[in-house]
Amino acid sequence: MEKRVLIDRRLASHFDWTLLGVAVGLILLGILTIYSATYSITEHRASGLASRQFYWFLIGVAAMLGASIFDYHRVDRFAYPFYGAVLLLLALVLSIGSMGGGSQRWLNLGFFTLQPSELAKLAIVLALAKFLQYDEPVGGYRLRDLWAPFLFVAPLVLLTLVQPDLGTAVTLVLVFLSVVLMGGLQVRSLLGLVAAGLTFLPIAWHFLKPYQRNRIWTFLNPDLDPLGAGYHVIQSKIAIGSGRLLGKGYLKGTQNRLDFLPAQHTDFAFAVFAEEWGFIGCLVLLGLYLALMVIALRVVARAKDRLGALLAFGALSIFFWQVVINVAMVTGLMPVVGIPLPLLSYGGSSMVSMMLAVGLLINVSMRRFTF
């Protein structure tokens, strides 16, 4: 008993407050941005979304603490059951899911709506970490050695694609590739996989929805349909550019206030932030994301074992790819695929899943001191 208490005290003394502080800083900036994005200049008040996001933040903190308390070596016990539960939820979305914005992505559970595809990112990380926790073969994994991980990711990606949710499906694939590469996939095997993916692109084009094809065309030429498919990115770039160096000030963004900017509180929250806080504000925001990722990389490097390193790197890859895709999408550097900016954009499922990822990082960080 005394040994157990000593271990618990030692773990608590190594809680990564810096990582939590960076995450909370991003969340608070997000709540301010959501408040601004939903503020009405006629009624002089915002909708209740910012308050809801704060409540989701509190739930997320509880989820983060739960994810940090248990010993991550118990992943063996629940990684596959968690994966199976998420797979079942994604299947239920197709039959009884709620519609919104032309997509069927949510399960209405009465007191809240759940988006299972957000949890799918964590399911991929947990399942892959369990599978790859033992040392890789001499020379690394070949593609034929990883048929089981391919079977993990394929159903999640397909069920997400048919919702349709191209952005999350792309994120799932990128997280998968990141973790298996970290796990020891041969570089030549990765190049072969990328080449096969590029070869498949012409076939994949025929499976895209018409609006998704239009987004790709307008990415290449936004003026092709300025009032339709190209409207989102054109208005977003105007908002970001109009912020200039120091921004227009909080609650003073004209593109946002006059409702020119679509999806202000979700996918395009970064554009709202950039218009109000300018280039300097964007540097601060992206600096916080960079700090989070540097801390996560440090957790990976200091992990006491391979399982911890894989879990931490998987959590890091979720943050990294979502930030890269969202910022590139909002600034017109890639097609609009619809993906939230982690911890900043509105969304309860996204908030809880991202805080679970933060908890996982803190878990691995604390337990590098145990024996």
pLDDT per position as a tens digit, 224-246:
666 665 777 888 889 999 989 99
Q: Does residue 110 have a pLDDT over 50?
A: yes
- C-beta pairs of 141-149 under 8 Å, 24+ apart in sequence: 141/180, 141/183, 141/184, 141/185, 141/186, 141/189, 142/186, 142/189, 143/189, 143/192, 143/193, 146/180, 146/185, 149/176, 149/180
Averaged pLDDT, 16-30: 94
Residue 362 in tokens: 């803190």
Task: Name the E strands within 220-328.
Answer: none
Q: Does residue 6 have a pLDDT over 60?
A: no
Averaged pLDDT, 367-371: 67
pTM for this model (two decimals): 0.91
| Chain segment 120-152, per-residue pLDDT in tens | 999 999 999 999 988 777 777 887 778 888 888
Which residue is associated with the tokens 């809240």? 112
In the chain, the percentage of residues whose pLDDT exceeds 90 is: 49
Nearest to 119 by CA among 52, 175, 73: 175
- Give the C-alpha separation, 186 to 189, whole Å: 5
What is the pLDDT confidence band of residue 90, given thresholds at 50, 70 and 90?
Answer: very high
